[in-house]
Amino acid sequence: MNPGEPAVAARERRLDVRDLEPPEPLERALAVLPGLGPGEYLHMLHRREPLLLYELLEAQGFRHCAREGPEAPWEIFIWREGDEAARAAAEAACRGA
């Protein structure tokens, strides 16, 4: 982002995969992620920690943070690498701020 340009507003996109069996949670996430716009991050609600997804995220150019609860057993926040607005918002949401 260049000086003088308006800051990009961060937006959350939600994906609830708690009732899906493997590998549908991963498939849904990978289908949604390419469509994330500037400032957008994905907030996944999951039954378990999706370690397989983490492995694939890095290769696809995304970063993540995760926490246990309160809305789901696991909540994962994913943003596009290089998108600072999305990163800051996702990490703040992950910390519960």
Question: Which letter, b or e, does each residue of 46-60 get, where b requires 16 or more Cβ atoms within 10 Å of its Cβ?
Answer: beeebeebeeebeee
Q: Does 35 bind other proteins (CB under 8 A)?
A: no
Min separation Cβ 3 and other proteins, Å: 29
For other proteins, the binding residue among 25, 39, 43, 79 (CB under 8 A) is 25
Of the two residues 7 and 59, which places its CB atom closer to other proteins in the complex?
A: 59
Asked whether the CA dihedral 89, 91, 94, 97 is positive or negative, the reply is negative
CA–chain centroid gap for 87, Å, is 9
Q: Does 56 bind other proteins (CB under 8 A)?
A: yes
Q: Does 46 bind other proteins (CB under 8 A)?
A: yes
Between CA 25 and CA 31 the distance in angstroms is 10
Q: Does 50 bind other proteins (CB under 8 A)?
A: yes
Residues that bind other proteins (CB under 8 A): 18-23, 25-27, 30, 46-53, 55-56, 59-61
